[in-house]
Amino acid sequence: MKETSPAPEARAVRLPRALRPFAHREYRLLAASMAASLFASGLWLVAIVYQVIALDGGPSELSLVAAAASAGLLVSVLIGGVAADRLPKRAVMIGVEVVRIASAGFAGALAVTGGLQLWHLAVISFVIGAAEAFFYPAYSAILPTLLPPDELLAANGVEGTLRPIAQQALGPALAALVIGWFVPGVSLLLAAGIYALALVALIAMRAAPVVPDEEARSPVLDDLAEGFRYLFRTGWLFATLAFASLYVLVLIGPIEVLLPFAVRDQTGGGASSFALVLAAFGIGGAVGSLAVSSLRLPRRYLTAMILLWGAGAAPLMLLGVTRQLWVMAVATFVVGFTGAAAMVIWGTLLQRRVPRHLLGRVSSLDFFVSLALMPVSMALAGPAGEWLGVPMTFVLAGAIPVFLAVAAIVGWRLPADEIAHPLDTPDPEA
């Protein structure tokens, strides 16, 4: 089944570029659902940590629960892309929210009644991770059916702004407050309630008209193979994912594993200092997303995107040489800003240049590449920090992406590709 794109709604007042998607009723509901969902996820992530602690668990037990969520995401993400291309996207997202509500509600009910055990949390985390693998391909694929092409950049900027605010700031803040007043189980129940608000917004959306598909459906494996074939024969897409996989390998581990040690050993700071540096990273991401969404898509969009990622990682080198906390905060702000700005452009490119019938699968491949090397990066960061030292590891983490970016741009002739496929004007065949 294929969903058709509705005609843009009339607007009496010309809104600023970053706000133009909100002129569309269906997008407003989708954005409200996304905000509630991200808020609930931030609440859930913190509540899970303290629920594990309440069960007398330690780092190993928490790693088990986190690994279960990652495993669910990883094993389901490619199928999630196929589902986004085969099924009504709004229905897929509704199904995901139903699973989230049931899972969080069940965990909370077990917790407040004293019946929750660690294995329950691991299984529930696996289920929620598997459900989330269906959400983001469907979300990415539904946007072009709701908005004209020239408003996709702004819509991706909204999502990039909501994520650090709702999931990394507001959700965890509310979780800490509720856990301090009550017990972690109450936070789990509250997360289920906020997921329910996300579901209500999705249900309120009008279902897009569905055009009957006259062609026989191919087997799922054939659909997956078609997505991989498109990836390998599309130079700009393959180059970006190859670069991104190495970028994730080089950056994520040092940031996730070694940053608290850099803060402690080089500035003498504790948990509050570490939180400040992380907050700067999140704020940078929100500002970067908002800034890019307020502008037109760059004419040299591939070059700009890769350089934002590659050169934007260079400030990480400062984390290896400075002893000033404010310098670390500024460095992570810049890395967050440039990384989020590049992500907004990337999401827009997928929606503008990938054929509609492949968008779910390509989005899931993008997700899969990032997920696959993330645990590898975190596993290598510790030994690298011990062998090379934390400062030198950050110097390399900041320098290597610059060379990778140049190699991707030159090696795959990305400037020629972006000149041949301009996106500074609306493209109805995106």
- If you count them, how many residues does the chain have? 430
Tokens 């509630």 belong to which residue?
Answer: 36
**pLDDT score for 19:** 81
Residue 206: burial class (beta carbons within 10 Å; 0-12, 13-18, 19+): exposed
Token pair recorded at residue 90: 């709004």
Q: Which of 166, 160, 123 is nearest to 308 (CA)?
A: 160
**pLDDT score for 96:** 96
Which residues on adjacent β-strands are paired with residue 211?
2
Residues 187 and 39 sit within 8 Å (Cβ to Cβ): no
The DSSP output letter for 315 is T
Residues 190 and 43 sit within 8 Å (Cβ to Cβ): yes
- Domains assigned to the chain: 2-211 (1.20.1250.20), 224-420 (1.20.1250.20)
Which helix (H) or strand (E) segment holds residue 101: the answer is helix 89-112
pLDDT per position in the chain (430 positions), as tens? Answer: 444 444 444 444 567 877 888 999 999 999 999 999 999 998 898 788 788 888 988 767 776 787 788 788 888 888 888 888 888 999 999 999 999 999 999 999 999 999 999 999 999 999 998 998 899 889 988 999 899 988 999 888 988 888 888 887 788 778 878 887 878 899 999 999 999 999 999 999 986 654 444 444 567 677 778 888 898 999 999 999 999 999 988 998 888 778 878 888 899 987 677 778 877 888 898 899 989 988 888 999 999 999 999 999 999 999 999 999 999 999 999 999 999 999 999 989 998 999 988 888 888 888 777 777 777 777 788 888 888 998 999 999 999 999 999 999 999 999 999 999 998 654 433 3
Cα(137)–Cα(42) distance, rounded to whole angstroms?
20
Cα(3)–Cα(160) distance, rounded to whole angstroms?
25
Tokens 């803060």 belong to which residue?
Answer: 263
**pLDDT score for 190:** 95
**pLDDT score for 208:** 60
Which residues on adjacent β-strands are paired with residue 210?
3
Token pair recorded at residue 284: 């940078």
Which helix (H) or strand (E) segment holds residue 358: the answer is none
Task: List C-alpha distances in Å: 349 to 22, 49, 71, 153, 339.
Answer: 20, 36, 28, 9, 15
Task: List C-alpha distances in Å: 195 to 16, 68, 97, 98, 140.
Answer: 30, 21, 6, 8, 19
The DSSP output letter for 217 is P
Cα(193)–Cα(102) distance, rounded to whole angstroms?
10
Q: What is the pTM of this model?
A: 0.77
Give the torsion sign (CA, 233, 239, 245, 248).
negative
Which residues on adjacent β-strands are paired with residue 2?
211
Residues 23 and 15 sit within 8 Å (Cβ to Cβ): yes
**pLDDT score for 5:** 46
Neighbouring C-alpha atoms within 13 Å toward the C-beta of 317: 13
Token pair recorded at residue 341: 């700005």
Which helix (H) or strand (E) segment holds residue 3: the answer is strand 2-3
**pLDDT score for 207:** 67
First-to-final CA distance of the chain: 18
Cα(91)–Cα(345) distance, rounded to whole angstroms?
27
Give the torsion sign (CA, 21, 340, 312, 246).
negative
Q: Residue type for 366, please? A: D
